[in-house]
Amino acid sequence: MTPFFAFSLLALGQVALASQDAFETRCAQFAEKIDIPDVKVNFAQYVPGGTNLSLPDNAPSCGAASQSVTVDLCRVAMAVKTSNSSEITLEAWFPRKYTGRFLSTGNGGLSGCIQYYDLAYTAQLGFATVGANNGHNGTSGEPFYHHPEVLRDFAYRSIHTGVVIGKELTKKFYDEGFNKSYYLGCSTGGRQGWKSVQKYPNDFDGVVAGSPAINFVNLISWSARFYPITGPPSSDTYLTPAEWNVVHNEILRQCDTIDGAKDGLIEDPTLCYPILETLICAPNPSNATGCLTSAQVQTANKVFSPLYGINGTLLYPRMQPGSEDFASTIMYNGEPFPYSKDWFRYVVYNNPIWSGKDFNVKDAAAALAQNPYNIQTWEGDLSSFQKSGGKVLHYHGMQDQLITSEDSKLYYSHVADTMQLPPSQLDDFYRFFTVSGMAHCGGGDGAYGIGQGTATYAGSDPEDNVLMAMVKWVEQGVAPETIRGSKFADGPGTKIEYRRRHCRYPRRNIHVGPGPYTDENSWRCI
Ligand SMILES: *[C@@H]1O[C@H](CO)[C@@H](O)[C@H](O)[C@H]1NC(C)=O
Ligand SMILES: *[C@@H]1O[C@H](CO)[C@@H](O)[C@H](O)[C@H]1NC(C)=O
Ligand SMILES: *[C@@H]1O[C@H](CO)[C@@H](O)[C@H](O)[C@H]1NC(C)=O
Ligand SMILES: *[C@@H]1O[C@H](CO)[C@@H](O)[C@H](O)[C@H]1NC(C)=O
Ligand SMILES: *[C@@H]1O[C@H](CO)[C@@H](O)[C@H](O)[C@H]1NC(C)=O
Ligand SMILES: *[C@@H]1O[C@H](CO)[C@@H](O)[C@H](O)[C@H]1NC(C)=O
């Protein structure tokens, strides 16, 4: 090639760059550059900030036909074979405004759904981010039926595969590669974060794991147990949502001020053991609206009791009091819990007509004996992760209606006992925060806005944002003492009514004044 010819090619290249800038060009050409075994690139597409991205391929049950994207990014969509009989759908989003950080998002429930809202959120914060479909599409557990490799993807392989490939692509896409890698997930996503900490201690420098579905098989059994306790809506043992609200108000009456503030929130539900017999209707009440039958009170007492196994072992702790308004319409609604039903149908018993109506502790034992691919995610020895220099930030809402926060406390103790480390030393790499007024992964009656996603976003300052707090911990060595949540006046992103600093376990929050409960400086972690 003559020097002249090379020069003119260069000039042509510059003309092309003027109409389509270097980032867009890089994105348009990226698909051809990917040559990784088992990876099939479907497309690489430049998405300008401000796009309302249409997602026609997303399974209808995932409930997301579109996603708004706020920053310029390159979207890469792939299919990745994970075995002869399984594959994951994987997306990598590379923002133009990049901070040198890699991140993996997670999933929820038994799904099957790329969390596009988390991809959009973390790309907006400058992370090169990946999200996978966890090995199947949609929210049902049916794809596990007679498909052990699909189940294996769900238990651990989808996230790890996405991380390995995502890191390789990030290095290819950005000349400067990446410096640190992060994980952000809640619920099943929280379990996936813990699975990475336990099984792949080098995958991440920082893991943010919320309301984790760890102790997974027992969680499935615990959730299956509510239907046999409440019965269907026609039975004497059932409580309507309005009756659960009566229970909720009585629980608040007995427990709200244990923390020193009458604010409708229980800072530490483990101190709350309500006596619900106070609600039993007197004979021939003139007004039965504010009281319950003794059968209903027994139902409530059973709901607030732990799940024990056939030999009396604790399988799963009790539902924490305070969540009953939220739980009434999903856990205590007089129908078998769908995820539990699917798990027993398609994983434990291979019986698609198993109804869940007669669930009992023998079923719990069968499920636990199976524990496929160690999906329990309950390893107490985190020393490999600790040695690799990893940090993990665990949080749990104290009004969680789907996964009791007491399971997170149990896990914290399990790690401390197994590693023989007191909290002061666990704090070097593992910090657990209890978030009062947060329901399952968001929502709730209090200051739940801690920035683990768009729906809880109250700013990017590390003080107000668990993900940025993790970045600060990993990159500057400054660990969060507390995490500050915002109470929104009228749902996510609306006016902030007040803020509250949530404590690092095993500390708990008490209101000491002199200001009102809305004053964050009037609280102490003790
Ligand atoms: C994006 O488009 C869908 C329909 O295509 C619409 O339902 C949705 O409201 C739009 N979202 C935004 C943020 O404009
Ligand atoms: C997957 O397929 C390959 C090629 O057909 C075969 O050699 C291999 O044994 C299969 N692996 C499994 C786990 O079935
Ligand atoms: C990684 O960190 C180094 C040192 O702080 C910095 O110079 C470099 O730009 C960073 N790389 C990326 C991809 O951000
Ligand atoms: C999931 O959906 C995508 C998009 O429609 C499809 O390409 C992929 O094959 C599906 N995956 C499975 C495991 O069915
Ligand atoms: C019955 O009690 C409920 C709850 O305590 C109250 O809201 C309602 O007004 C009472 N009804 C009558 C007729 O007194
Ligand atoms: C009791 O059950 C648990 C869970 O099924 C099991 O791990 C444990 O070994 C059992 N203990 C005894 C003494 O049978």
In contact, 196 and 162? CB cutoff 8 Å: no
Residues 6+ apart with CB under 8 A from 252: 264, 266, 322
Of the candidates 145, 174, 163, the one whose C-alpha atom is nearest the C-alpha of residue 73 is: 174
How does the average pLDDT of the chain come out, rounded? 95
Indicate if ligand 5 lies below 6 Å from the C-beta of 286.
no
At 493 the pLDDT is: 83
Q: State which of 217, 308, 310, 313 you would mutate to test the pocket of ligand 6, scoring each by most atoms of that ligand within 8 A of its C-beta.
A: 313
pLDDT at 288 (0 to 100): 80
Q: What percent of the chain has pLDDT over 70?
A: 96
Reported confidence tier of residue 287, pLDDT bands at 50, 70, 90: confident
Mean per-residue pLDDT for 449-469? 97
Q: What is the mean pLDDT of residues 222-226?
A: 98
233 phi and psi angles, rounded to 5 deg: -55, -25
- Give the pLDDT of residue 55: 98
User: Is any atom of ligand 6 closer than 6 Å to the C-beta of 334?
Assistant: no
* Mean pLDDT, range 138-143, rounded to an integer: 98
Q: What is the pLDDT of residue 435?
A: 98
Cα(171) to centroid of ligand 3, in Å?
A: 13
pLDDT band at residue 9 using 50, 70 and 90 as cut-offs: very low
pLDDT of 273 reads 98
User: Is the model's pLDDT at 1 over the cut of 60?
Assistant: no
The pair of three-digit structure tokens given for residue 152, joined into one six-digit string:
């294996």
pLDDT digits (tens, 9 = 90+) for 27-69: 999 999 999 999 999 999 999 999 999 999 999 999 999 999 9
Q: Is 365 in the pocket of ligand 6 (CB under 6 A)?
A: yes
pLDDT, one tens digit per residue, over 290-333 is 999 999 999 999 999 999 999 999 999 999 999 999 999 999 99
For residue 491, the model assigns a pLDDT of 85
Pocket of ligand 3 (CB under 6 A): 100, 176-179
Ligand that comes closest to the CA of residue 86: 4
Q: What is the C-alpha to C-alpha distance for residues 419 and 415, in angstroms, rounded to an integer?
A: 6
Residues 131-143: what's their mean pLDDT? 98
CA–CA gap between residue 198 and residue 209 (Å, rounded): 12
With beta carbons less than 8 A apart as the criterion, state whether 403 and 221 touch: no
Secondary structure of 253-314 in the HEC alphabet? HHHHHHHCCCCCCCCCHHHCCCCHHHHECCCCCCCCCCCECHHHHHHHHHHCCCEECCCCCE
Nearest CA to ligand 5 atom 8: 289
The tens digit of pLDDT for each residue in 374-395 reads 999 999 999 999 999 999 999 9
- DSSP strand pairing (127-132 vs 86-95): antiparallel
Instruction: Give the span between the Cα atoms of 335 and 46, in whole angstroms.
Output: 45
A 10 A CB-CB count for 376 gives 19
- Nearest alpha-carbon partner for 150 in 107, 86, 89, 106: 86
Give the mean model confidence (pLDDT) for residues 488-508. 95
Q: Which residue has the tokens 């099943």?
A: 188
Provide φ and ψ at 202, rounded to 5°: -100, 0
**Per-residue pLDDT for 6 more than 90?**
no
C-alpha 184/C-alpha 206 separation (Å) is 9
Residues forming the active site:
187, 400, 440
Q: What is the pLDDT of residues 85-134, one digit of tens each?
A: 999 999 999 999 999 999 999 999 999 999 999 999 999 999 999 999 99
Ligand 1 atom closest to the Cα of residue 52 is 1
CA dist list (Å): 127 to 46, 66, 373: 16, 21, 30
196 vs 7, higher pLDDT: 196
**Spatial CB neighbours of 336, under 8 Å, sequence gap ≥ 6:** 224, 227, 355, 356, 357, 359
Q: Give pLDDT, residue 10.
A: 43
393 burial via Cβ count (<10 Å: 0-12, 13-18, 19+): buried
Please report which residue ranges of 125-275 form alpha helices under DSSP H: 148-152, 158-173, 188-199, 216-230, 241-255
52 Cβ closer than 6 Å to some ligand 5 atom: no
Task: Please identify, by atom number, the ligand 1 atom nearest to the C-alpha of residue 54.
Answer: 5
DSSP string of 314-347? EEEPPPPTT-HHHHTTTTSSSS--HHHHHHIIII
Confidence grade of residue 525 (pLDDT, cut at 50, 70, 90) = very high
pLDDT higher than 80, residue 5: no
Residue recorded with tokens 């020069």: 7
Mean of pLDDT values over 354-366: 98
Give the residue, out of 107, 137, 147, 158, with the most ligand 4 atoms within 8 A of its beta carbon, to mutate for a pocket test.
137
Gap from CA of 161 to ligand 4 centroid (Å): 16
Q: Distance (Å, rounded) from C-alpha 476 to C-alpha 469?
A: 10
Is there a contact between 49 and 23 (Cβ–Cβ < 8 Å)? no
Residue 179 Cα to ligand 3 middle (Å): 6
Separation of alpha carbons 208 and 393, rounded Å: 5
The pTM score is 0.94
What share of the chain has pLDDT > 90, as a percent?
94
- Give the pLDDT of residue 13: 42
